[in-house]
Amino acid sequence: MPVVREFKLPDLGEGLTGAEVVRWMVEVGEVIAIDQPVVEVETAKAVVEVPCPYGGVVTALYGAEGEEIAVGAPLITVAVAPAEGAEALVAAEAAAAAAVAAERPLVGYGVAEPAKGGRRARVGVAPVTAAAPAPAAALTLVPAPVAVAAPVAPVPVVVPVISPLVRRLAREQGVDLTALTGSGPDGLIMRADVERAVAAKVTAPAAAASATAAASAAASAEGVIPLRGLRKAVAEKLSRSHREIPAATCWVDADATELMALRRQLNATPGPKVSVLALLAKICTVALDRFPELNSSVTEDGSGIIRHSVVHLGFAAQGERGLVVPVVRDAHLRSTDQLGEELGRLTEGARTGALKPAELTGGTFTLNNYGVFGVDGSTPILNHPEAAMLGVGRIVAKPWVHQGELAVRQVTQLSFTFDHRVCDGGTAGGFLRFVADCVEQPGMLLRQL
C-alpha cells in the first residue's frame, strides 16, 4: 500500500516565519520526482521555488495562490509506493480513471486534464490510506476516504476524485463540496449531488454573495489595501525593530568635494568605474574596524551583546518587489573595486527580483543611500537585529566655509542611527565624525589600510 508523506514548509531564510504562495507548479494527482520544484513562494527576502523531497503521486496541496503559509505548516502530501514505485501508482491511477470514466464521463482520476490558456486544472486525489484522510485545509476537493476492502493482490488503491466540470459547477454555485456526501461509487461526488445542493440552498449562496460584495465595496470605498507578501513582512520587521530597539540618531554635514574629485580621478583610468556607494562602503568597513562596538547585535533575550568578527554589509535597494537589503559578504576583506563589483551585481538582482534568500540575510551593518531619492536627511528604523545604520543624503552644491573663505562646495548630510544598548553617544559620535572626516579627506583611508 502507498504511504502518504507530508512535506512541511521549510525555513527558507534567517528570521522568516512564513511565505506566500505565488504559483503552484504541480497539480493534485500528478506524479512527481524526488526534489522536483512544486511551488513558487514569496518571502520577505525573495521569490523562490521549493522542491519536495518525496517522489510519488500528489494527494493534496495546502494554500491557495496569494495565501500565506507558516513555516512548519503542511505544504503538500505525496503518496509514496515503497515497493511498487511510482510506475505502479501511475498504472493504478490510469486504471481507476478508465473505470470511473466508463461510469460517467464527467468524473476523472489522477493527472489533471488541460485547461484554457495551457494551464492545467487541478484534480484532487484523496490520501491513499483509509485511516488518514487529507486535512480540510488542503486544496484537494474530495470527500473523506472510505474503507476499502483488501484486494486479492497487493496493488495501490487510488480513490476517485471530482471532475473538473463538477468542481466548476460547485464553485460557480457556491456549493461547499466538503459538506456533501457523494452518491457515486466509493462516495464520489456526482453532478447530480451538486445540483441537489443548489436546489436545497437556493437562497443561501445569493445572501453570501451579497454580503461579500457589500464588504468588498465598503473596503474599496475606504481605500483599504491588505498587507501581503513583502509589504507585510517589511511591516512586521520594522514594527519589531521600533518596538524592541532603543534607537538614537545623530547627524552631521560633510564636504564631499574631495571625495567626488577622487572618484573622478579613479574613473579617468582604465578599469571598472567606481561608484559613490562603493567609496562609502569602503569608508564604513574602515570605520567599523576602528569602532567594532557598532558591528554587533543584542541577543534574542536581551541579555548580551554579540560582537561580530566579520562585516557583512547590507545596503538598501529599491526593486520591483519593493525595498530590500542585499548583503555584501565579508565586505571588510574586499577592495574598493571588489566592493563596487559586488554592489553592482546585488543591485541588479534587487532590481529584477532575482536575489536568493541567502543574499538578503545575515547583515551586521547597513548603509542607506537615500540621497538617490533627492532628499538630504532621514531617521531610518534599524534593520533588526543590527545595531547601527549609516544614512547618506544627496550630494549637492551648497555655500560652505572652506579654508576660511565662503565657497560653493559639494555637501552631503550624514546621519547615524544606533542601538543605544550597544554603546553610548560618545562611540556613535566618534564613528560618525570619523566617517565625515574620511568623506572630506579621503586620503585618511590610506592610513587605515
Question: Could you tell me if residue 108 is inside a domain?
Answer: yes
Q: Beta strand pairing status for 247-255 and 405-419?
A: antiparallel
Question: Could you tell me if residue 225 is inside a domain?
Answer: no
pLDDT at residue 129, as a whole number: 40
> Pseudo-torsion of CA 177, 183, 189, 191, nearest 10°?
-100
Cell 518587489 belongs to 321
Question: Could you tell me if residue 245 is inside a domain?
Answer: yes
pLDDT at residue 431, as a whole number: 98
Q: What span, in angstroms and rounded, lies between the C-alpha atoms of 434 and 288?
A: 10
DSSP H helical segments within 319-449, as ranges?
336-352, 425-440, 445-448
pLDDT digits (tens, 9 = 90+) for 26-64: 999 899 998 899 998 887 667 788 899 899 999 999 988
201, 138: one domain = yes
The answer to whether the beta carbons of residues 243 and 398 sit under 8 Å apart is no
3-state secondary structure of 395: coil
192, 268: one domain = no
pTM, two decimals, is 0.58
Domain CATH code at residue 366: 3.30.559.10
Q: What residues make up the domain containing 24?
A: 3-217
Phi, psi dihedral angles at 365 (to 5 degrees) = -160, 145
3-state secondary structure of 9: coil
Strands (E), 185-319: 247-255, 296-298, 305-307, 313-315, 317-319
Question: Could you tell me if residue 235 is inside a domain?
Answer: yes
Q: What span, in angstroms and rounded, lies between the C-alpha atoms of 38 and 10?
A: 13
pLDDT at residue 216, as a whole number: 59
Q: Which of 217, 246, 271 is the last residue of a domain?
A: 217
Q: Which parts of the chain register pLDDT below 70? A: 13-16, 44-45, 82-165, 168, 186, 201-221, 447-449
185, 295: one domain = no
Q: What span, in angstroms and rounded, lies between the C-alpha atoms of 447 and 440?
A: 15
Beta bridge partners of 20: 42, 68
The answer to whether the beta carbons of residues 127 and 79 sit under 8 Å apart is yes
The answer to whether the beta carbons of residues 378 and 412 sit under 8 Å apart is no
86, 175: one domain = yes
What is the length of the chain?
449
Domain CATH code at residue 167: 2.40.50.100
Catalytic, 242? Answer no
321, 183: one domain = no
259, 367: one domain = yes
CB atoms within 10 A of CB 196: 14
